[in-house]
C-alpha cells in the first residue's frame, strides 16, 4: 500500500529541526519495514519563507512509503509518536502530521502550489482530504505530501551529537575542487555556507544535484575528522525556482506573500542603515537590504529602468513594502535630448519654458521623447550567502537530479 506521510513545525528558535525529526521517523521506518518500504528519498519541501509563523527556513518533510495494508495504522501511530516525543513545544511551535493512503488528493497538490507563495489557512489544510493530526503544522505537512518534485535537487544533512566543530573555508574549497558544480552553494568568499550557526542539531548541510557527489563530499569531511552522529539525503525542491515555476501568484499584493511585479523605477535612494528604498511607477514601494550586495547597489542606480521585481510583501507604516530578493532589468528609458526645431541648437530652461541657446527662440512647451535601451537587460541577484533556499543559482540545471532513483545510493546513516 502506497502511503505518504508529512510532518512540519517541530522546531523552535531555541532548538530542534523538522528535518531531524524527519530523519528520526525515516530511521524508525527503516528498522520496522526495511529499505524496500521507501518509494523515494525522504523529501525536504521548502515553502513560502515570508510567512510570519516560520521558525527559520520554513521547511516541511514527507516520506513516500510502501507498507502492508495492515500496517498503515501502525505507521500512522509511529509518525505521531516520533513527532510528539521530539518536537520542541516552545513559543509558537505547533507540530502537525498528515497522511495520504493510495493517491494524493488534488487539493493537497494545489495547497502545495499555494503554500509556495502565499499564507495558507489551517482550515484549507483540514479540507485537503488527508488524515491529519496536530496544530498549525498540518499546513506544511499537507503541502509536503502534495509537493511535486519532478524538478529537484538533493541535500545531505548531517546531525551532531555534541558541540559543532567549525568547518574552515579551506576544507570547503577542497570539497568544491572535487565536486563543483555537482555540489553548490558551499561558500560565499570565505563565508562557509554548509554550516548553520543556530542551536539546531544540524552539523552541516551540503546541496547538490547528485547523491553520489554528496556522499563523496561527506567522505572528505569525515577524513578530516568531521564525523556526524547521523545523516540523511533528502530530495528537495530547493534551487529550482519551484516558487516561481509552480507557485500561485495573485494580481493584488497580499501581506506576507511572495510577489512579482513589473514597473518602472522612478525613485531609488539609500536611507539610514544604507538600505535602498525605491518606488515603482505603479506606486509600490520596494526595499533592498544593503547586505544583498550588488542587487541593492544596482537597484539604486536603476532609476527609469523597466524591471520585474521578486520578493516578499510585508506590512510597514500602513502600507505594503516589497522586500526584493531578485530583479530582472528588461530595459531602460533614456531621455532624448530635445533640439530646437529651427536651427538644431540645444535648449535651456527659463523657468517658464525653454530657450534655444543658438538662435534665441523661446518655447512654452516642448515634446519630450524617450528611447528604450534594451542593452540594459540583465538579472540582479543577491550575493550567494543571501540566496533563499528556493532560488535557482545561475547556470544550474537542477532537472538532472530527477534521473536518480532511491536505490542508486545509500541515503541514511
**Region 195-204: what's the mean pLDDT?**
90
Where do the H-state alpha helices sit in 146-270?
A: 169-179, 211-223, 242-245
Write the pLDDT tens digit of every residue in 213-222.
999 999 999 9
Mean pLDDT of the chain: 90
Pair 117, 390: CB distance under 8 Å? no
pLDDT, position 104: 96
Instruction: Tell me the average pLDDT across 213-236.
Output: 95
Domains of the chain, first to last: 2-148 (3.30.70.2200), 153-240+393-401 (3.30.70), 250-386 (2.40.50.1010)
Element housing 140 (H / E):
helix 138-145
The pLDDT, as a whole number, for residue 404 is 53
pLDDT exceeds cutoff 80 at 397: no
Cell of 68: 502492508
Separation of alpha carbons 249 and 179, rounded Å: 36
Residue-level pLDDT at 376? 86
> What pLDDT sits at residue 398?
47
Of residues 41 and 92, more confidently modeled: 41
Rounded Cα–Cα distance for residues 284 and 301 (Å): 18
245-292 pLDDT, tens digit per residue, is 999 999 889 999 999 999 999 999 998 878 999 999 999 999 999 999
CB 144 within 8 A of CB 62: yes
pLDDT at 366 over 80: no
- Summarize pLDDT for 99-134 with one digit per residue, the tens: 999 999 999 999 999 999 999 999 999 999 999 999
Using pLDDT thresholds of 50, 70 and 90, give the confidence band for residue 399. very low
How much is the pLDDT for 368? 77
Residue 31 has pLDDT above 90, yes or no: yes
pLDDT per residue over 4-17, tens digit each? Answer: 999 999 987 777 89
pLDDT at 244: 93
Cβ(233)–Cβ(154) below 8 Å = yes
Q: Which of 106-110, 337-341, 376-380, 392-396 has the highest mean pLDDT?
A: 106-110
Amino acid at each position: 500500500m502506497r502511503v505518504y506521510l508529512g510532518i512540519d513545525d517541530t522546531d523552535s528558535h531555541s532548538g530542534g529541526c523538522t528535518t531531524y525529526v524527519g530523519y528520526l521517523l525515516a530511521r524508525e521506518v527503516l528498522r520496522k519495514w526495511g529499505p524496500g518500504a521507501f518509494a523515494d528519498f525522504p523529501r525536504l519541501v521548502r515553502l513560502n519563507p515570508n510567512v510570519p509563523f516560520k521558525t527559520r527556513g520554513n521547511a516541511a518533510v514527507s516520506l513516500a512509503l510502501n507498507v502492508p495494508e495492515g500496517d498503515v495504522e501502525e505507521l500512522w501511530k509511529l509518525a505521531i509518536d516520533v513527532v510528539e516525543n521530539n518536537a520542541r513545544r516552545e513559543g509558537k511551535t505547533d507540530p502537525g502530521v498528515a497522511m495520504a493512503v493510495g493517491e494524493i488528493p488534488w487539493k493537497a497538490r494545489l495547497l502545495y502550489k499555494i503554500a509556495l507563495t502565499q499564507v495558507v489557512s489551517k482550515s484549507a489544510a483540514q479540507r485537503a482530504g488527508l488524515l491529519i493530526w496536530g496544530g498549525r503544522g498540518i499546513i506544511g505537512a499537507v503541502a509536503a505530501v502534495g509537493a511535486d518534485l519532478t524538478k529537484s535537487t538533493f541535500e545531505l544533512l548531517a546531525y551532531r551529537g555534541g558541540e559543532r566543530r567549525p568547518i574552515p573555508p579551506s576544507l570547503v574549497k577542497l570539497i568544491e575542487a572535487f565536486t563543483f558544480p555537482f555540489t553548490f552553494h558551499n561558500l560565499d568568499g570565505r563565508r562557509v555556507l554548509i554550516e548553520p550557526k543556530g542551536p539546531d542539531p544540524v552539523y552541516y548541510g551540503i546541496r547538490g544535484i547528485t547523491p553520489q557527489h554528496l556522499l563523496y563530499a561527506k567522505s572528505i569531511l569525515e577524513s578530516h575528522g568531521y564525523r556526524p552522529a547521523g545523516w540523511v539525503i533528502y530530495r528537495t525542491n530547493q534551487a529550482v525556482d519551484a516558487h516561481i515555476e509552480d507557485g500561485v501568484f495573485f494580481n493584488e499584493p497580499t501581506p506576507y506573500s511572495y510577489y512579482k511585479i513589473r514597473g518602472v523605477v522612478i525613485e531609488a535612494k539609500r536611507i539610514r542603515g544604507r538600505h535602498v528604498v525605491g518606488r515603482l511607477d505603479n506606486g509600490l514601494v520596494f526595499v533592498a537590504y544593503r547586505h544583498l550586495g550588488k542587487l541593492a547597489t544596482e537597484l539604486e542606480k536603476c532609476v527609469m529602468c523597466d524591471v520585474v521585481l521578486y520578493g516578499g510583501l510585508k506590512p510597514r507604516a500602513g502600507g505594503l513594502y516589497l522586500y526584493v530578493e531578485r530583479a530582472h532589468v528588461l530595459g531602460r528609458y533614456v531621455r532624448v535630448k530635445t533640439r530646437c526645431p529651427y536651427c538644431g541648437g540645444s535648449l535651456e530652461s527659463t523657468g517658464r519654458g525653454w530657450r534655444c541657446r543658438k538662435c534665441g527662440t523661446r518655447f512654452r512647451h516642448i515634446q519630450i521623447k524617450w528611447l528604450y535601451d534594451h542593452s540594459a537587460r540583465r538579472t540582479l541577484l543577491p550575493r550567494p550567502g543571501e540566496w533563499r533556499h528556493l532560488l535557482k543559482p545561475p547556470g544550474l540545471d537542477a532537472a538532472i537530479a530527477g534521473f536518480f532513483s532511491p536505490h542508486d545510493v545509500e541515503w541514511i546513516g
